Chains A and B, each alone.
Chain A
Amino acid sequence: MTSIHVITDKNKAGYETILDEYFRLRHDIFVGERGWRDLERPDRRDMDAYDNEQATYLVALDGGRVIGGLRLYPTLLPHMISEAFAHLIRGRDVLSGSTILECTRYFIVRERRMGRTDCRLLAAFQQFCLEEGITEVTAVVEMWRLPRWQQAGFKVRPLGLPTMVEGQTCIAAAIQISDDSLRHVSRLAGLRGSCLVRGTGVSNLVDRVPHVAA
């Protein structure tokens, strides 16, 4: 069963192996699959200036393996849209505030893209933001992905016109955080309760599993 773990500077010590796999997968997907060559690194781990103590990660785990994730970052600090994608915003009027986060590096591993993992991660995302008092989340998203978010029950408003980024037509958009969206996406994800985990780590999870199963 997929669960989505919240990983921040405070609890990252307990997620060392998981985070390493997470950064390796990001490199596989964003450099290998999507061809963002600028991110390529010899250690095959995708990490950038925003992977710092201000970042929050939602990491989807199944049986101790990373199967997806996303990164959230405060918009009051210099963030990716303000620093690199302001030209995608109408009038360059970048949306920022204490209740607004930016979402980047959204991914699901290839073999889980047909199932409900996508919806589970999106549900955890809405739930986490609701619990944190977040009202909106900005993101640069490929246009083709927008209908998937909308069909998941997300209210998404455009912040500018579609623009080519790394060979893909992308748009800057703001996702509204709401109970309605959480309810809708949870239903699609087949969730009766929460799949969000705020823990201290899973370093021992792989060792523990056989005992729990037995």
Chain B
Amino acid sequence: MSGRSLDHTVQAFEFIEELDRLATPQAIIDAMERSFAQYGFENFIMTGLPHPEQRIEGLVLLKKWPLGWYERYTRNSYDRHDPVIHLCRRTVQPFEWGEARYDPDTNPKGQEIMQGAADFGMRQGYCLPIHGLNGFEACLSMSGPDLDLTPQTKPAIHLMAMYAFERARLVLAPAPRPNPLTNREREALRWAALGKSAADTGEILGVTERTITAHIGSACAKLTAANKTHAVARALQHRLIEI
């Protein structure tokens, strides 16, 4: 191990020890600002990932973002199209913003969002997805004009980000948000995702077709989905069900 990577280890462990003593969101923001600056990070946001019926503003744990960018981002509901958020839902590994690919044909706003961020000095980024209990999904996304992301620095950044997130969650939002679907609704959607009709599912679960249709109906309402297919797609996308 080189001297330099030993430094990264020491700094990461010192940061984690420091976090334990921090009791307010502002203290966490200040500590993150100091410790992540050495890797070139200037901005960061910690936020839950919204379910279909939620807005991102209500889920932000803490942030150090240019105000103009935050206003533009929330006003335009960019989280619905943000390639970084999309990748967060699909991976458990941290990634660089550049790895969050998007197809300009199907997601024309992707380009607008990434360019907009760059205009605010957020040219490069590193994002840590969090997949917690009961379908709780969140991320810590950090950025700057010129980042020091190498195989030597990334493990330290990964660990620091994970513990910064946990500290903020403890200080701000004690409990993960529960899955809005009941067990029966989830079960009905899972079978639908596997190609079963309501009648099939009723037979499998030993209840009537009408009961299954009712479960699907209430799941649709909770997910603001137009129909069963839409509900299945949303439930999978938001990891409310697994197949």
Report which A residues bind B (CB closer than 8 A). Answer: 90, 110, 113-115, 118-119, 142-144, 146-148, 150-152, 157-158, 160-163, 169, 171, 188
Nearest CB of chain B from residue A161's CB, rounded to whole Å = 4
B228 interfacial by beta-carbon distance below 8 Å: no
In the complex, chain B residues 83-136 whose Cβ is within 8 Å of any chain A Cβ: 92-93, 129-136
Contacts of A90 in B (CB 8 A): 9, 13
B155 interfacial by beta-carbon distance below 8 Å: yes
Q: How far, in whole Å, are A113 and B135 apart by their CA atoms in the complex? A: 11
Q: Which of A115, A161, A188 has the most CB of B within 10 A?
A: A161
Report which B residues bind A (CB closer than 8 A). Answer: 8-9, 12-13, 16, 92-93, 129-136, 155-156, 158-159, 162-163, 165-166, 169, 176, 179, 183, 186, 241-242
A118, A152, A157, A161: the one within 8 Å of B155 (CB): A161
B12, B133, B136: the one within 8 Å of A161 (CB): B12
Which DSSP category, helix, strand, loop or mixed, fits chain B's interface? helix
Q: Are B131's CB and A144's CB within 8 A?
A: yes
A115, A142, A150: the one within 8 Å of B166 (CB): A150
Contacts of A119 in B (CB 8 A): 133
Contacts of A142 in B (CB 8 A): 92
Q: Are A147's CB and B16's CB within 8 A?
A: no
Q: Which residue of A lies closest to B154 (CB)?
A: A162
Nearest CB of chain A from residue B39's CB, rounded to whole Å = 14
B8, B93, B133, B156: the one within 8 Å of A151 (CB): B133
